[in-house]
Chains A and B, each alone.
Chain A
């Protein structure tokens, strides 16, 4: 199972970052960022399988594909924003991390608007 590999990498990187922090704090930050990237790469394969199954299901269920692409876009934005906000907060400047998460929320809101209109249209058609 990959979970053991992920936990091992995380713990190893935490210890290494701590040892290097006393000599070179900036390289310690880069170690933690590198570990986060490696873990995200390991998880990316699982996400690829999930995405293929989701798109197959959505075609069978007849959901039009732009709703699914909006959902995927939201997950992708959340995925990247959470990673970079975490690295920024690791390096100590929490405000930059908060700005990144705030911007990601706005982008996700924009990406979710078509879904909102679709739901409103369905509701109005039902009531007419």
Chain B
């Protein structure tokens, strides 16, 4: 649970933005939307995994069953 996750998410965000623009310039707009969606799904997977781990620790910590 280090700081590197934040860097990873930011890097994926910027990469998807750049690839989207490149694909748009070479007039493949549908590919651009697909890459942005793919980037978003990857980032969502990472964040959802972090959220589920956080909720599990909170559940065990406060015995919130």
Contacts and interface: CB of A to CB of B under 8 A. Distances in A.
Instruction: Classify the secondary structure of B's interface with A.
Output: helix
Residue from the set A8, A41, A51 with the largest chain B CB neighbour count within 10 Å: A41
A38 B12 contact: no
A38 B36 CA distance: 25
Contacts of A27: 9-10, 12-13, 16, 39-40, 43
Given A23-B14, A37-B50, A37-B54, A31 B62 contact: no
B58 A38 contact: no
B6 A73 contact: no
A30 B54 contact: no
A24 B16 contact: yes
A32 to B, nearest CB: 9
Interface string A49-71: 00100000000000000000100
A75 B9 contact: no
A75 B2 CA distance: 25
Interface of B: 1-3, 5-7, 9-10, 12-14, 16-17, 36, 39-40, 43-44, 46-47, 50-51, 54-55, 57-59, 61-64
Contact of B43 (A12, A30, A42, A44): A30
Contacts of B40: 24, 26-27
Instruction: Classify the secondary structure of A's interface with B.
Output: helix
A85 interface: no
B6 A69 contact: no
